[in-house]
Amino acid sequence: MDRVALRGLKARGHHGVFPKEREEGQTFIVDLTLGLDTRPAAAGDDLSKTVHYGIVAEEVVDVVQGEPVDLIETLAERIAQQCLSHAGVQEVEVVVHKPDAPITVPFDDVTVTITRSRR
């Protein structure tokens, strides 16, 4: 399976279990790896036979900016399902970063990584 990756998609969302997170929001960063067969697109140099990563990027930002959820696990699942709605995408790995998570000790990042497929 071939891979198309998008790294560092940024959007502001209001996800989290604490009222301050819901009220003020914060930046979330998403990395995606889409699994698909790119041979048909390459053979005909045809965008319609692959996934349009620009559209996927916009859809992911819409999910992050959309309806708030408590957990980034839930957010990752919603993103994965949106990606799998594209006919050619057979598998997706989603990494959701929450660099401003409300943690009381020094840290660089919090991430949740999930992999989902049509299988």
Assign 92 to helix, strand or coil. strand
Q: Which of 10, 20, 49, 98 is catalytic?
A: 98
Establish whether 98 is a catalytic residue: yes
Residue type, 22: R
Angle, in degrees to the nearest 10, between helices 72-84 and 53-65: 150
Residues in the chain: 119
- Taking alpha carbons only, the member of 98, 94, 1, 103 closest to residue 56 is 94
Question: Catalytic residues, which ones?
Answer: 98
